[in-house]
Amino acid sequence: MPPPTLLLTAPLFLKHEPGPGHPESPARLRSILSVLERAPVEGAQVAAPRAATEAELASVHTPELCKYLSGLAGEEADIDPDTHASEDSYDAAVLAAGAAVQAVQEVMAGRARNAFALVRPPGHHAEPGRSMGFCLFNNVAIAAEAARRQGAERVLVLDWDVHHGNGTQAAFWARRDVLYQSVHQYPYYPGTGAPHEVGVGEGQGFTVNCGIPGGATDADYGALFEELFLPIADAFRPQLILVSAGFDPHRDDPIGGMLLSERGFAAMCSAMKSLAESVCDGRLVLLLEGGYSLQGLSQSVHACVEVLAGRKDSFPTGETTSETRHALARSREALKPYWHLR
């Protein structure tokens, strides 16, 4: 039998309580797991993750932040106006980071054909020295560092959350071994992700941002993938692909302003899976970030798991908006000095 699509999750993730009325609630993961239980995906296997080690957390985060967060274990605290910790939040965050590392290790070793870490809290806003934006540790950055230790010389991180992953960008801003690509609503929280943000020093050209106004459709995202993200990623030739999979660009999301459907997310996942199959033996790991419409989130995650397990989806044909074309042109212009973009 072929290796499974690995789904890593645990009951502890449901014990992270950001507070009454907070959008990043346990109901998000509960809804995802309920849909996967009602409609199991053949070829997908659920397993429990392990906690991250101190060294794995320290591969991205400063000693000061690690010490501060460990001091919150068993406590309630307001980390910033958006980010709150309950008694179990620290342990959940360490387990979420560990799930990210474990997913990478299983895929790199060939024991899983691909993986999806269904975790809370999310991670892509957490900077090396600062937790913020619902995030404590940066799960995808910790996963990328784990992949480098596993022997991957080049790692791609693709971020399709509606918010820009400022923390992931900061972690690899001056590096060329990790290519960070982000499509996000702009201008929007956290304020970063402009097209001219392309990295510094050796990392110039290895940060790819395309920020677009709200209202973008599946076809708009398809144009961005086909004309910007995929050509650069193919030229980069990653040995592992990580996806910060946020589902807040869904058309029903109460926070985001995009118009993606479940099939749009499946098309993005399919595009990354096809890229992985062509350049890195299918090594692909998704990590859950945002997404606050319970139905939109759970149905979109299910659609992506179907893709990981073998289904193929493609972007719909259709006109792209003038706003998307303008944003795409600005990003392509900013990246032309570093990549051959036709």
Catalytic residues: 125
Amino acid at 76: E
Q: How many Å apart are CA 194 and CA 327, to the nearest integer?
A: 10
Distances (CA, A) of 321 to 103, 105, 187: 37, 40, 17
Distances (CA, A) of 332 to 126, 214, 227, 228, 231: 27, 20, 8, 7, 11
Which of 149, 150, 94 lies closest to 123 in space, CA to CA?
A: 94
* CB atoms closer than 10 angstroms to residue 316: 13
Alpha helix positions (H), the chain: 26-38, 54-58, 63-70, 89-108, 139-149, 166-171, 218-224, 230-236, 262-279, 294-308, 322-335
Tokens read off for 300 = 């979109």
Residues with Cβ < 8 Å from 308, sequence gap 6 or more? 5, 44, 113, 114, 115, 116, 269, 273, 284, 286
Beta bridge partners of 46: 7
